[in-house]
Each structure stands twice: as structure tokens, then as C-alpha cells.
Amino acid sequence: MSARLGMQGGNLARRRIRGMMFRGFCAAMTAAGVILLVILLTRIWREGAGWVDWQFISSFPSRFPEKSGILSALVGTLWLIALTALISVPLGVGAAVWLEEFATRNRFTRLLDVNISNLAGVPSIIYGMLGLTVFVRGLQLDRSLLAGSLTMSLLVLPVIIVASREAIQQVPKAFRHAALALGASKWETVRHHVLPAAVPGILTGVILALSRAIGETAPLVVIGAFAYVAFVPEGPMDDFTVLPIQIFNWASRPQQEFHELAAAGIIVLLAVLLLMNATAVWIRHRARRSRPW
Amino acid sequence: MVATAADRRPQPDPEEGPPTVPDALPAVLEARSVTIRYGDNPAVREVSLEIPENRITAIIGPSGCGKSTLLRAFNRMNEFIADVTMDGGIHYRGENLYGKDVDPVEVRRRIGMVFQKPNPFPRSIFQNVSWGPTINGMALKSELPALVERSLRQAGLWDEVRDRLDDNGFSLSGGQQQRLCIARALAMEPDVILLDEPCSALDPVSTSRIEDLLFELKQKYTIVIVTHNMQQAARVSDFTAFLEAGKLVEFDETEAVFTRPSEKRTEEYVTGRFG
């Protein structure tokens, strides 16, 4: 028994409609996200773009909106990110290498695995509390950049560890075996073959983790970063503020001009973020192209 | 207890335990009732055999018979596979390879290995060869070019790469990559070279080049080659060990194994009736 192909039998029509409905649903959801983002960005751009100029970048905050600028927050953010990277990269990459290359799999390391993944999901304000207790009060670091960076390091460490471990896992086993079979020690194998091959992946993970930290406000508010800082921090023990705190501060004032300043601050923050993420994409792309295996 | 073929040749006795190295060749490596388990599953069972000096010993057997596992035990490479445990002992020139005071790094320096799939480092051809001697402090920087050239010549690759030593190892063909890996192993001036199905990823021309190479190398080195290619074992090896399901079924001169095997299973395998 055979029907002509054109004759639609059974439930085919219904199945086809369902398929189309599902496709339409997914497209609509994507569109909703994109449209919201576009609206948000245009609003911010309309409000803030006019304020972003050299005067805005190079001035300290002021009670007069037209004299106000973002210098201290921008420099504070750059300091914070640099210090956070300095602290968290050796810790995170070191832990990842140990877990992947040296640790024997046992109950303890499995417990670590689970905990690291869970830590990545802990709300950032909790890290703020921890930072307040341990660094600000315990170690008497006060509201310094160092205290802020240490707190941020706690926040990004799980992400860096997970990303680094994935990068290390992707290095072919064959390289390790080749090196070890030549009488290389574990350390020489890791240093000369595993890490170089994993660096692009690790860097990408680090940058993405740090760009998450750039947008974080809660932990820094908890440890008491100032909103009004009329100087550029010059060392890790200086007081500081960061872009999101400055933005929050302006947005919470009643005057329209300050809301526009907040929008301008957001544009600067987004520009920094975009720059970092673009760097991550570029590194990944370059590594993928130059990878011979 | 390691039986030798000389013990049992006149009157083959299957109860006498595992076979053997025929003549009175000095044994470089000696496995003494080696059992290797993955978790609880034994992959190699009670294998005893002696690897004679300056000869090529082939280990053959069907897939999963434990031949690669046994090979890796000879330079302690099984230690990088989780859950592998070993009973019995392996002796290298009379010394226990797994002794407490033996550093596995030293073991692998003397007993080199070439893998199934060519695995050059993603470095230049020169660095591929020079890295081992460098980290092991075997050569001064000024001596490296000569060492690299010598190793590449021994591996029969020099003429093809002499003008492109700075190219990435991956830019070579599969067969060249494998010879680069052999050169890399030779640069360590090892005593023994273990090869784990070194030609299984290569075309026939590259395969025969490597087989010719092995022939030359046995003047200086002791070679153990795992292969699932029986013709290859017959062509290149002096001795052949036949493993099945982790057990050593037969170990004898290659010619004997292929023409007048003493075990029925060996005969069935080498004539292609199974495996």
C-alpha cells in the first residue's frame, strides 16, 4: 500500500504546526531579550551620551552636576581589577593545576570539586560580609583597595578555578605522556607543556571572571567603599570607590542631572566591560587558529 | 620463577609455567609473574618473560589482551592511569624497577617510549628533539644542534627536515611525526625503546620505513614492540610473545612462533583463525 507523497496522512499537519509554534516561541523569547536590551541601551545612551566627554572622564565627583566626573571611580575600578587579578590568578590557577595534575582523586578532592562549583553560585553580598569580617576588621585593612581586592578575589576565585581546570583538561593527554615518557618530572611537564597549551583558555576565563567583578557593587558596599572620593588612589592601602558605586550614588539622588550622570557612568562601565570581553574573544580566537592539534 | 626456553625446549611441558627466552641472551627487562589490574579487572595475569638485549621483541595478541598494559609496565607509565595496580615485579638489569628508592623519572629516562598515535609537542622540530636532553641536563646548549642532528639521522628523518628545523612538529606528515617521536626518544640515549603499535596510524610506506628503522636501531638498543599486525611481528621481531586475555600463551623465537607454535591457540591466532 502506498500513498502519494503529497497526500498528507495522519497527524502530519498537526505535528508540523506544533513544530512551527515551538520555533516561533523560541524566536519570540530571543526577540524579547534583544528588544529589552536595545531599549535599555538607547535610553542610557540618550540620557548619558551627552555627558560623556573628557571633562567627565577627568574630573572628580562634585555636588554640581556639570563639574562632576568619574575619574576617581574609573581609576578605582582599574586598581581594583588589577589587584584582584594579581591576587586571584596565582591562587586560582595554582589550585586548578593542583586539582587537575597532582591531587589524587579521593573523597576529599571530590568534596572540593562540589564546593568550588557551589561557591561560584554564592550571592556576592555574602563575600562582602566575609571580607568585612576577615579583611577590614580582622586584618585591620580598613576600607582600603587591598581589602576590596581581597574580597573581590574571593568572589572570582571559584570561577577562575573552574575555567582554568577546564582549560587544563582540554590539553591533550598525549602531550603529558610524551613529556613524562622522556623522563620529565610532573612539574616540568606542567610547566613546559600543559600550562602553555592551557594559557589561552585560562586567560579567557580570568578576563570573564574579572569582568563580572567589575560590575559588582554589593560586596564593596558591605566592606564600606566610599561613594564620594575626591582623589585618585595611589596605593593599595588608599580609600577608593568604583564605577558601580558611583553610578548607584548618582542614580539615588533626586535631581535629573545626576540621573543623566549615572547614565554616562554606565556608558563608561559598559565600554570597559566591552573592551575586556572583546580581549577575551580575541585571545580565544587567536589561540584556536594557531593551535596545531 | 622465570622459566627459560632452554629449560623446556627438549621436552615442552605446559605445566612448567610461562615460556621463555631461548638462547642465553642477557635479559634487559624481566617480568616476574606480573598481574596488572584496572580496578578489580585483571588485564595482565601472571606474566613472566625476559626481554633479551639488542633484540626486537614483539608482543602480539587480540585487542584487549593486555599487551599495551604490559608494555607500559616496563617504564612505569601505568602510574598515570587511575586505578591501575600491579602485582609481581619487573626487573631492569637486575634491579627492581618498582623498588622504593627508584625514581620513575630515572626509569623513563632509560626506557623510552613511542606511542600509538604520533604525539609531537606543538613546538619546533628542533625543540621536539632537544627538550628531553635539556630538562635532563644531558647536553649543553652548544651541544644540542649536534645531538638533534644525530637523533634525527638515526630516526631517518634528517634529510627530510634539515632545512625546516624551526617548523612546528605538527607540520610533518603522520609518518614523519612518528619518526620525529622516535628521534625524540633516541635523543635521550635510552637503553630500551618501547613502541606501542607505532604504525597503526600510518600508511604502508611510512610503516615499512619505520620497520627498516627498527632493524637498524636494534644494533644499539633493546626494542619491545606491541603490534596487532602479525605480519609486522613476523617481519621485524626476533622474539614474539603471544598474549591472550592477559595470559602469556607462548614466547619464543619469532620464527618458531609463526611456523611451529607449541600452543594450539597461538597457531590459531597467527594463522588468522581468530583475533
How does strand B41-52 pair with strand B56-60? Answer: unpaired
Q: What are the chain A neighbours of B135 within 8 Å (beta carbons)?
A: 182-185, 188, 192
Kindly identify which residue of chain A lies nearest to residue B190, measuring between CA atoms. Answer: A182
Task: Judge: B122–A291 Cβ closer than 8 Å, yes or no.
Answer: yes
The pLDDT value recorded for residue A25 is 96
Domain with B39 in it: 5-270
Q: Which of A179, A188, A292 sits opposite B168 (nearest CB)?
A: A292
CB A62 within 8 A of CB A280: no
- Whether residues B115 and A178 touch (CB distance < 8 A) is answered with yes
Residue B2 has pLDDT above 50, yes or no: no
Instruction: Decide if pLDDT at B46 tops 60.
Output: yes
The CA-atom distances, in angstroms, between A133 and each of A49, A70, A118, A149, B253 are 40, 29, 21, 14, 75
Domain count, chain B: 1
- Residues recorded for chain A: 293
Residues 6+ apart with CB under 8 A from A57: A69, A70, A71, A74, A268
Q: Cell numbers at residue B19, please?
A: 615460556
Query: Is the ipTM here above 0.90?
Result: no
In a domain, B48, yes or no: yes
Report the interhelical angle of A195-215 vs A71-97 (nearest 10°): 140
Any A CB within 8 A of B167 CB: no
Measured CA distances, B104 to A126, A152, B80, B111, B201 (Å): 46, 42, 11, 10, 28
How far are the Cα atoms of A100, A112, B36, B44 from residue B82, in angstroms, in the given order? 13, 19, 12, 16
Instruction: Tally C-beta pairs within 8 A across A and B.
Output: 69
pTM metric for this prediction: 0.78
Q: List chain B residues with CB under 8 Å of A193.
A: 121
pLDDT of A3: 60
Contact A205, A164 (CB under 8 A): yes
Identity of the residue numbered B1: M
How many whole angstroms separate alpha carbon A74 and alpha carbon A18?
Answer: 51
Task: Give the domain A56-290 fold.
Answer: MetI-like fold (1.10.3720)
Nearest to A69 by CA among A82, A80, A83, A58: A58
Report the percent of chain B where pLDDT is more than 70: 91
Distance, in Å, from the CA atom of B82 to the CA atom of B207, rounded to the nearest integer, reads: 32
Least CB–CB distance from A185: residue in B105, B122, B170: B105
| Nearest chain A CA: its distance from B198 CA (Å) | 13
pLDDT given for residue A216 in this prediction = 83
Name which of A37, A182, A29, A184 is nearest A101 in CA terms. A184
Contact residues, chain B, for A185 at CB < 8 Å: 105, 135
pLDDT values of chain A reduced to their tens digit, one per residue, 293 residues: 556 666 666 788 888 899 999 999 999 999 999 999 999 999 888 888 777 787 777 777 777 777 777 888 888 888 889 899 999 999 999 999 999 988 888 888 889 888 888 888 888 888 888 888 888 888 877 778 888 889 889 889 999 999 999 999 999 999 999 999 998 999 999 999 999 899 888 988 898 888 888 888 788 888 877 667 777 777 777 777 888 888 888 888 888 888 888 888 888 888 888 988 898 888 888 877 777 66
CB contact under 8 A, B119 and A175: yes
Residue B215 CA from chain centroid, whole number: 14
Mean pLDDT of chain B: 87
pLDDT score of A285: 84
Query: Which pLDDT score is estimated for B14?
Result: 44
Which CATH number fits the domain that encloses residue B229?
3.40.50.300
* Chain A residue numbers touching B137 (CB-CB < 8 A): none
Q: Tell whether B145 is covered by a domain.
A: yes
Helix (H, G, I), strand (E, B) or coil at B81: coil
pLDDT for residue A224: 75
Mutation for B interface: A171, A182, A187, most B CBs within 10 A: A182
pLDDT at A7: 63
Instruction: Report the residue from B82, B105, B168 with minimal CB separation from A183.
Output: B105
Residue B266 lies in a domain: yes
Chain A interface residues facing chain B, Cβ-Cβ under 8 Å? 105, 172, 174-185, 188, 192-193, 197, 291-293
Q: In this complex, do A174 and B117 lie within 8 Å of one another by their Cβ atoms? A: yes
Nearest CA in chain A to B132: A182
Indicate the range of A204-218, B126-140, B172-186, B224-238 predicted with least confidence.
A204-218
Q: Is the pLDDT of residue B9 over 70?
A: no
Residue B275: inside a domain:
no
pLDDT confidence band for B3 (50 / 70 / 90): very low
Domain ranges, ordered by start, for chain A: 12-51, 56-290
